[in-house]
Amino acid sequence: MSNPPDVVTGEIEAPSVEAQEAPPASVSAGEQERRRVHDLWLSGTEAPATTGRFTSEGAQEMLYTESDRVLAGQMGTLVADDYEIDPSVAEDETQIINMGPQHPSTHGVLRLQLELDGETIRRAKPIIGYLHTGMERTAETLTFMQGPTNVTRMDYLSPFHNELCYSLAVEALLGIEIPPRAQAIRILMTELNRVSSHLIWLATQGMDIGAITMMLYGFREREEVVNFFEMVTGLRMNHNYIRPGGVAADLPDGWEDEVERLLRLVPRGMEEYEGMLTENPIWLERTQGVGVITPEECKAYGVTGPLLRASGIAWDIRKAFPYSGIDQYEFDVPTGRHGDVYDRYLVRLEEIRQSLGIVRQVLETMPLGDYRSEDRKVTPPPRARLDQSMEALIHHFKIFTEGFKVPVGEVYQAVESPRGELGMYLVSNGGPKPWRLHVRAPSFANVQALPMMLADSLIADTVATLASVDPVLGDVDR
């Protein structure tokens, strides 16, 4: 046990039959076995280099560098006693390992560097940028009308929120009124989007902890919601449906029946999720007390959304700074107490229910009227008008070639995305393209707070914590 490898080398260098048959009493059984293996497989070769120390730095390092031990390990002849501890390595030495960027549970291309002390994480560092595509710069090259096509690709699990935030910012600078029907359609689509996004989160959170059934269940209901998006917008994601001035098209015939169907299907699925998870001892064990963040830390780090609410603060932009007429619908802001993964689960489940409640109210009170502003300087005229009206033709031409101009100014507009506060800081210099568009991505701030949630937790809880943050890397990197 206590033999340092250097001492062993000298004896192995000259193996002899006598030494094998009659070993000195001081040589341990493990040592004898190692010599036997060496004679069997490595006789005639040079003695193994035993000066190489194993190091704990780096993930690729094999712990045992001596060839005979490796060989014995491969042959299955190495006994447990042979796992000697190198006395030159301090007991409190930590090792740094990489998780990602290609890891099934990093939800994209997030890379985490974890400093481990045994199984405990001492330090974590998120490394981002693998999905950076310069969308903020791209936005400066697109007109205000083309903007939603760009921003919808940022947070690809809640594209409607991106489009809504951008459109609201442009409309704030323009100072135009949006018809009630367009506002109600926007709320309908964004709240359904919150449902579909939370379902994806629930599916992946279950998958990461090992509840594979949840993966299938979550995607099953999400698929129904996405089918409705396809029916309305023509696309399953990246819709470019909510635009400055209103929405791209009116709701199709029969949308009420489809929404009714969703309002039946999703709650039925939720009963199944709750029956499977809420009181499941394994689920509780893996989520309660894991990845805790306090309200004070949330505030200092700008953590918003379900994470902030799960830590006990009833903060929701829809209540504090209502947009698009959300204040006329009734809903509650669920909160947790402990700020752990389990409370985030409960909060998100309740948010799905509240969003479905809003969708029900929208369905019952959908106003009639225009689905976009009739301000022809902002929205294009209907196709049929182009054959009859010179004015319409001019407006159509101007909007699709030059784009509309937006008055000089800066505005910060925020909406409550499924992940937290999605904000856009839009600067216009009076031209048809934004001078600057900065996106305050909720995942960016939430990922930044990961080291605090992971510090001094077990490495096995990393995936549970990471999944509960629900980061979308397209949103983090933009």
- Select 68 or 475, whichever has its Cβ closest to other proteins: 475
The helix/strand/coil state of 23 is coil
Among 66, 68, 191, 350, binds other proteins (CB under 8 A): 350
Among 41, 64, 156, 321, binds other proteins (CB under 8 A): 321
- Select 50 or 167, whichever has its Cβ closest to other proteins: 167
Residue type, 49: A
Helix (H) or strand (E) holding 228: helix 212-233
Q: Closest separation between CB of residue 353 and other proteins, Å? A: 11
DSSP string, 359-374: HHHHHHH---S-SB--
Report how far residue 368's alpha carbon sits from residue 318's, in angstroms, rounded to the nearest whole number.
23
Report how far residue 472's alpha carbon sits from residue 108's, in angstroms, rounded to the nearest whole number.
7
Neighbouring residues of 211: CB distance < 8 A, sequence distance ≥ 6 = 276, 277, 280, 282, 283
Among 42, 235, 237, 313, binds other proteins (CB under 8 A): 313
- Select 45 or 141, whichever has its Cβ closest to other proteins: 141
Helix (H) or strand (E) holding 467: helix 462-469
- Select 360 or 436, whichever has its Cβ closest to other proteins: 436
Q: Closest separation between CB of residue 314 and other proteins, Å? A: 4
Among 49, 282, 314, 455, binds other proteins (CB under 8 A): 314
- Select 93 or 410, whichever has its Cβ closest to other proteins: 410
Number of residues that bind other proteins (CB under 8 A): 51
Helix (H) or strand (E) holding 262: helix 255-277
Report how far residue 193's alpha carbon sits from residue 266's, in angstroms, rounded to the nearest whole number.
13
Residue with tokens 């704030």: 172
Among 5, 100, 148, 336, binds other proteins (CB under 8 A): 336
Among 238, 425, 431, 459, binds other proteins (CB under 8 A): 425
User: Among candidates 263, 255, 266, 261, which has minimal Cα distance to 184?
Assistant: 255
Backbone angles phi, psi at 126, to 5 degrees: -80, 135
- Select 337 or 377, whichever has its Cβ closest to other proteins: 337
Q: Closest separation between CB of residue 432 and other proteins, Å? A: 16
Give residues 390-419 in contact with other proteins (rule: CB under 8 A).
409-412, 414
Give residues 168-227 in contact with other proteins (rule: CB under 8 A).
172-173
The CA-based angle 233-238-244, given to 5 degrees, is 70
Residue type, 305: G
Q: Closest separation between CB of residue 153 and other proteins, Å? A: 16
Report how far residue 279's alpha carbon sits from residue 344's, in angstroms, rounded to the nearest whole number.
15
Q: Closest separation between CB of residue 181 and other proteins, Å? A: 25
Helix (H) or strand (E) holding 420: strand 420-428
Report how far residue 142's alpha carbon sits from residue 413's, in angstroms, rounded to the nearest whole number.
19
Q: Is 334 in the site for other proteins (CB under 8 A)?
A: yes
Q: Closest separation between CB of residue 326 and other proteins, Å? A: 15
Q: Closest separation between CB of residue 346 and other proteins, Å? A: 6
The helix/strand/coil state of 387 is helix
Q: Is 132 in the site for other proteins (CB under 8 A)?
A: yes
Longest dimension (CA), the chain: 110
User: Among candidates 283, 331, 287, 291, which has minimal Cα distance to 311?
Assistant: 291
Backbone angles phi, psi at 440, to 5 degrees: -90, 95
Q: Closest separation between CB of residue 158 and other proteins, Å? A: 18
Report how far residue 234's alpha carbon sits from residue 154's, in angstroms, rounded to the nearest whole number.
19
Q: Closest separation between CB of residue 376 and other proteins, Å? A: 24
Q: Is 421 in the site for other proteins (CB under 8 A)?
A: yes
- Select 266 or 450, whichever has its Cβ closest to other proteins: 450
DSSP string, 331-358: ------SS-SHHHHHHHHHHHHHHHHHH
Which among 82-90, 193-201, 310-318, 352-360 is the span making contact with other proteins, rule CB under 8 A? Answer: 310-318
Q: Per-residue string for binding with other proteins, 67-96, x by CB under 8 A?
A: ------------------------------
Which among 1-9, 202-210, 319-327, 461-469 is the span making contact with other proteins, rule CB under 8 A? Answer: 319-327
Neighbouring residues of 148: CB distance < 8 A, sequence distance ≥ 6 = 162, 163, 166, 167, 240, 242, 243, 244
Among 58, 104, 129, 234, binds other proteins (CB under 8 A): 129
- Select 319 or 360, whichever has its Cβ closest to other proteins: 319
Among 78, 378, 444, 466, binds other proteins (CB under 8 A): 444
Please count the other Cβ atoms lying within 10 Å of the Cβ belonging to residue 346: 18
Residue with tokens 């006693």: 81
Which among 62-70, 83-91, 128-136, 208-216 is the span making contact with other proteins, rule CB under 8 A? Answer: 128-136
List residues binding other proteins (CB under 8 A).
Answer: 128-129, 132, 134, 136-137, 140-141, 172-173, 298-304, 312-315, 319-321, 333-337, 346-347, 350, 409-412, 414, 421, 423, 425, 427, 435-436, 438, 440, 444-445, 448-449, 477-478
